[in-house]
Structure 1
């Protein structure tokens, strides 16, 4: 038995040990950061204390769509918005601008629209005539002839966002959210495939991310085939060269921006066994032609309905000249082929793991991730919108942070749900998916991790990775 004084001493020792273990627990703050931290924590405690006493007002137990506008008024949010965030390492190229940006594209000249049998867009110097399809017309004329232009634009805008007033009704399960995301990408791809529009989109997106205090990006992309007004088309390599051209122009305009690298990402569809060889050849070709901006290779798609990595592991084992950045564990299930992708991502030497939502249910794999120092790309808001988690206090990021695991924050498809490039995810992580006591040190550690686990790091020059020792 010990007296209460000794008991408190032991308790303090335990709490200090736990704090030291957590991400950012041993991060050193300079004098200016200490001042910022004091202000930041004062506002954080005010917000969380109120939510503790009024649980129904805890935003992060509700859907992101219900609080995303309100949170912009938070003093904590404003501080986070202004702070440097390092890099965005898990984002998809066609979902980085919001619906208002996309609506502006629909006001450009030479854009045609076809509403039958489904909505399509095409830039051309004359009305497209596909398969005797005569339903194409200038979108400017269609807008002019609409009985209500405001309603015409409002209906069109809905195609460029997943945001709805009642998300629980619109998206009752993961099936509906992923179907909506798939339809979203179909719409966006048509608008952005016109080369001049695509190149302006890339430049504007770099500017948007830089304004959110992001200095570097790694973008998942299938490198869509671009076309000209006269119908001339360009292949994947030309699209990659367009990206490099725009990046160089942007860096000339903004020398403080570190850059962008591409992760060639293709679908884990049921035909992957047949398609994988061509995907790998394409990745190697991109690496050969634009090595300055090539980072590696990924396979993407809805985890629960895609072909598991184990089905193509034999082929992937033969690929020793590409860095892997596999999506894995983006599922709520355990003991299935879906979360089984985590085993294969690790065994195949993935440099980082995209999402890793289900990793918390695999203690041995968590140990391997730490031992191999594999970065975990966490996308909080994406996991909420795509029906994996409702209350952020239940997101596994809480445990990953508490255990000091190698996590980085990113935003996945922020344009699809009208989020900021990275500030929204940082804010949700700071107030909703970490300890009440997590401070500026954690935010600083997240920023540092985003650079440490990026393709800028010398870590990727070692060639280490494949298979357990």
Structure 2
């Protein structure tokens, strides 16, 4: 039987402060050294963070990250810490979807275009159907949107549209009682939106306006995922995938011409993971053609769709292995709470296929061997905090598994997924949740800075363009730090 430790043994052990200090040296961003101006900003931002955490520690029912996003949205938007985070340049956006990258207002504005028809009213059990057409579409019940809007009054009609285009509700807990319910509403939004957003003039303008919104928020580069749907015009023409990508490229170049500091965008082809072998082989052929024609714009391949529907990445491996090695994978994987069920294997197959990034990776922490691979191979995890809460993977951001990734300097970025559908800001809401809810109370400005650096470092840009983007971001960051430090010292920023 071992003897109890002596007093000298106990005294020679590390103290709590020693352990905490050593632990903090492993934090994401811990190696960064702050300038004097950054230290001033850091002191202020940590004061705001500690205040919110202390108030939440007294009553965690009032802690913003602990409650559903919809319940605390008004309080969040008025938070001084959130307002400060909005001003900080956040680098690039690496995980967004094309049809939800803009805003609901942009979508509603699109319904003011002429020749938009509607079949069905809002009070019916199924959502109305929309279509742009010069003449009344075939079938009963079609009415011009302009006529319905005039009848109902514009503000009332537009609010009905907003309810259709968003999953927002004042009672999220009872409205969305399971992940499947959320996904069903999600699919319904896409189905309803498709005939509106897939109309070529809307498609083109929505994409350009969305890029401009990101640019205005000091985001100079983004990578969007898209399914390349049937884009159409009033002549009845259905545009090919090549023509759709060309529209993207044209609008990207138009913004770069109008705003030279914008560094551009890349496209990740992300078809649905549903469909038979013949359908998927057609998808693969389409992607190969796009990659050959637009090698600098079509950055990679992904698959989208609810993983818990048991359509596994493994099913597509034989065809994926036939793609050229020059093609990069950015797979959605691990967006599940199930441990050991079929959908839990997608992360394994994504890594075995050589994915460069993993979208969500929520289940990653349950797989120690995969964690080792992630760190060794520097496979970036695209964390989407607000999205994960929306789809009920967790209710309280303090329980988000990315806390472990932040604590041990894993390769991660923070992004916003389908943020338009739940009224989230471009990146600021997700950065706030990461900083206050997921990260340690001791994580400071260095975390936010490292997340921004990572968003460029793990992008699909080549090294030359990455270095160019990093220099551009550093200029924005330093300028912002100088302004914020001045505002803090002068008392303008309380």
- Stretch moving more, 383-392 or 104-113: 104-113
- Written as runs of structure 1 = structure 2, the 5 A alignment for 1:125-164 is 125-129=134-138, 133-146=139-152, 150-164=155-169
Q: Which residue pairs with 2:483 in the alignment? A: none
- Stretch moving more, 275-284 or 117-126: 117-126
| Conservation of the 8 A alpha-carbon contact between 1:173 and 1:387 | yes
Offset of 1:28 from its aligned partner? 1.6
Q: Which residue pairs with 1:62 in the alignment? A: 67
| Conservation of the 8 A alpha-carbon contact between 2:66 and 2:397 | yes
| Conservation of the 8 A alpha-carbon contact between 1:308 and 1:338 | yes
| Conservation of the 8 A alpha-carbon contact between 2:100 and 2:418 | yes
The one of 280, 287, 304 equivalent to 1:276 is 280
Offset of 1:65 from its aligned partner? 0.8
Secondary structure, aligned partner of 2:222 = strand
Distance 2:31 2:242 in 1: 45
Offset of 1:336 from its aligned partner? 1.2
Distance 2:216 2:55 in 1: 31
255 and 150 in structure 1: CA distance in 2 versus 1, 3 angstrom threshold: closer
Offset of 1:134 from its aligned partner? 3.0
Q: Does 1:320 align with 2:329?
A: no
Offset of 1:458 from its aligned partner? 3.6
- Stretch moving more, 323-332 or 58-67: 58-67
- Written as runs of structure 1 = structure 2, the 5 A alignment for 1:15-164 is 15-115=20-120, 119-129=128-138, 133-146=139-152, 150-164=155-169
Structure 1 portions without partners, runs of 5+:
462-469
Secondary structure, aligned partner of 1:319 = coil
The one of 294, 297, 311 equivalent to 1:290 is 294
Distance 2:281 2:267 in 1: 19
Offset of 1:46 from its aligned partner? 0.8
| Conservation of the 8 A alpha-carbon contact between 1:268 and 1:306 | no
Q: Which residue pairs with 2:436 in the alignment? A: 431
Distance 1:232 1:436 in 2: 55
Offset of 1:315 from its aligned partner? 2.4
TM-score, structure 2 length as denominator? 0.88
| Conservation of the 8 A alpha-carbon contact between 2:91 and 2:453 | yes
Offset of 1:459 from its aligned partner? 11
| Conservation of the 8 A alpha-carbon contact between 2:127 and 2:164 | no
After superposition, give the CA deviation of every residue in 1:323-348 in whole Å (9 maximum; x if it has no partner). 11111000001111111101100000
Distance 1:20 1:419 in 2: 32
| Conservation of the 8 A alpha-carbon contact between 1:218 and 1:263 | yes
CA RMSD of aligned residues (A): 2.0
| Conservation of the 8 A alpha-carbon contact between 2:91 and 2:220 | yes
138 and 32 in structure 1: CA distance in 2 versus 1, 3 angstrom threshold: same
Q: Which residue pairs with 1:401 in the alignment? A: 406
Offset of 1:184 from its aligned partner? 0.8
Secondary structure, aligned partner of 2:202 = helix
The one of 309, 312, 327 equivalent to 1:305 is 309
The one of 436, 439, 446 equivalent to 1:441 is 446
17 and 285 in structure 1: CA distance in 2 versus 1, 3 angstrom threshold: same
Q: Which residue pairs with 2:387 in the alignment? A: 382
Offset of 1:316 from its aligned partner? 1.8
- Stretch moving more, 29-38 or 9-18: 9-18
Secondary structure, aligned partner of 1:261 = strand
| Conservation of the 8 A alpha-carbon contact between 2:284 and 2:319 | no
Offset of 1:235 from its aligned partner? 1.0
Offset of 1:306 from its aligned partner? 4.1
Distance 2:310 2:291 in 1: 26
After superposition, give the CA deviation of every residue in 1:392-412 in whole Å (9 maximum; x if it has no partner). 010011111011110100010
State how many pairs are aligned. Answer: 456
Secondary structure, aligned partner of 2:288 = helix
Q: Which residue pairs with 1:465 in the alignment? A: none
After superposition, give the CA deviation of every residue in 1:14-52 in whole Å (9 maximum; x if it has no partner). 222211111011112122211111111111111111111
| Conservation of the 8 A alpha-carbon contact between 2:310 and 2:342 | no
Secondary structure, aligned partner of 1:357 = coil
Structure 2 portions without partners, runs of 5+:
1-5, 467-494
| Conservation of the 8 A alpha-carbon contact between 1:451 and 1:457 | no
Distance 1:7 1:56 in 2: 41
Distance 1:443 1:83 in 2: 9
459 and 245 in structure 1: CA distance in 2 versus 1, 3 angstrom threshold: closer
Secondary structure, aligned partner of 2:76 = helix
Distance 2:433 2:204 in 1: 32
Secondary structure, aligned partner of 2:208 = helix
| Conservation of the 8 A alpha-carbon contact between 1:265 and 1:297 | yes
- Stretch moving more, 388-397 or 302-311: 302-311
Distance 1:5 1:177 in 2: 53
After superposition, give the CA deviation of every residue in 1:95-134 in whole Å (9 maximum; x if it has no partner). 12332322222222221111187521112222222xxx13
| Conservation of the 8 A alpha-carbon contact between 1:303 and 1:330 | yes
